[in-house]
Amino acid sequence: MVSAIKDKNNSAKIVGHLINGEIKYGGGSSQDIYNPSNGEVSRKIELANKKTVEEAIAAAQIAFPEWRNTPAVKRARVMFRFKELLEKNAKKICELIGEEHGKISHDAMGELQRGIENVEYACSAPEILKGEHSKNVGQSVDCWSEFQPLGVVAGITPFNFPAMVPMWMYPLAIVCGNCFILKPSERDPSSTLYIAELLHEAGLPKGVLNVVNGGKEAVDTLLFDPRVEAISFVGSTPVAEYIYTTASANGKRCQALGGAKNHAIVMPDADIDNAVNQLIGAAFGSSGERCMALSVAIVVGDEVGNNFISKMKETMKTLKVGAYNESSNDFGPLITEDHRNKVASYIKSAEDQGATIAVDGRDIKVKGYENGFFLGATLIDNVTPSMTSYKEEIFGPVLQVIRANNMQEAMDIINDHEYANGTCIFTRDGEAARYFSDQIKVGMVGINIPLPVPVSYHSFGGWKRSLFGDLFAYGPDGVKFYTRRKTITQRWPSAGVREGKEFSMPTMK
């Protein structure tokens, strides 16, 4: 296997593109990739210009007719081999994630496993692509539906899950018979490219999956090129809205997953110790750089609130922050220095607007990694819905606490927010849990589960401004997104029987 990461003139490693099964370099400008644990440049990445992206689209278009007509079972066999290679090379993949994202090794392994589960779902292609058939719907008339691929489709993925989120998209798209252009984050592309190379090693034909690195020029090329039939996106809400609006205006199918502000309600009857343990990981895992991070706890009643804050502060003392290669660490740095400073500014704004900083992680220093982009776990009490830090997605290791008088007030706070990705409730009351899950206006709901991320054979997506488009990601909705239904009705009349002229609408009378 030829690596997409090479040494140029024995200096910095250069990350290229994967087009038509080959590693390509050039095509635009370049930028640095940082190791966020030590703040040093680890690689450079070459950014695709319009011509480079068009080359990838052309390769996918050429590969499509043959791949489309490849039996689903043969496409699935490629995915079976791909799964084996992912498991065999898991350690290297997780090292690449850690070097460029900063994610601790055990967290990276969890991300990879979630991606593998989506590959496993794609392995069931012969089953999920089965059509529907009805015999003799009329005299000698049969009717059936087929699910056919779209053609060339594309995915634009974020930095926070460089392995998992791309595997939400292209394994299912490809096994449905499409050819795929992936534009990963330019901040941490190496694991994404390496995984794509493994898929080619598994037997994927050239041109079926292409990976191009780039910025807005690359994205706009995908959005405006008429050969691209559909776009999948995961990222911030402003960009998601732009992607969806532009793709739709250009006649493309689009699913664009945006930002989040995920809430947990802690009820008076909840097991507080369990809630604290669950929320610690949900709020601070992966440095809070998750679209499903639990960033707001709404405690019902001051007694519950005081108890929750006290136990949370004690438990947070045990957290270990550091580099990705120390498995005893709980979470690592933020992705860039700019993002670290942005998260710190949200903490300051909450303080300036009257909130109480119960635990402050802004001054943390990690021995041996003093130049890393670290920010410690932060707990903010007495937050109100009018505060900037509440309204906007922080995307860092910050848990904010709002105090409510009752469950309905807590639910109203959640339902009033513009984001509606995920939420959960901690309670022992089945009636309260049932009412909450039925009445809350959020796409993914947990009952005593703070990260209600659906398994691969369900689908992932939020409501309101957390999702632009009608279909969720992966699972059954993913199959619908990457295929078109075609319904065929046919008649084979008996020999010698001729039908008379018919001018009215056909019916089954």
Which residues are designated catalytic? 291
Residues 156, 158, 163, 165, CA torsion sign: negative
CB 264 within 8 A of CB 279: yes
H-helix or E-strand spanning residue 180: strand 179-183
Half-sphere CA count of 310, side-chain side, radius 13 A: 7
- DSSP reduced 3-state for 370: coil
The residue type found at 222 is: L
Long-range contacts (CB closer than 8 Å, 24 or more residues apart) made by 246-249: 246/220, 247/223
* Type and span of the H or E element at 377: none
Three-state secondary structure string covering 437-482: HHHCCCCEEEECCCCCCCCCCCCECCEECCEECCCCECHHHHHHHC
Amino acid at 508: M
List the structure tokens of 235.
């990222």
In whole angstroms, give the CA distance from residue 199 to residue 220: 26
Neighbours of 134 (CB within 10 A): 11
Phi-psi region of 102 (alpha: psi -120 to 50; beta: other; left: phi over 0): left
Distance of alpha carbon 46 from alpha carbon 157, whole angstroms: 17
DSSP string, 149-207: E-SEEEEE--SS-TTHHHHHHHHHHHHTT-EEEEE--SSS-HHHHHHHHHHHHTTPPTT
Q: Which helix (H) or strand (E) holds 22?
A: strand 22-24
Q: How far apart are CA 472 and CA 500, in angstroms?
A: 47
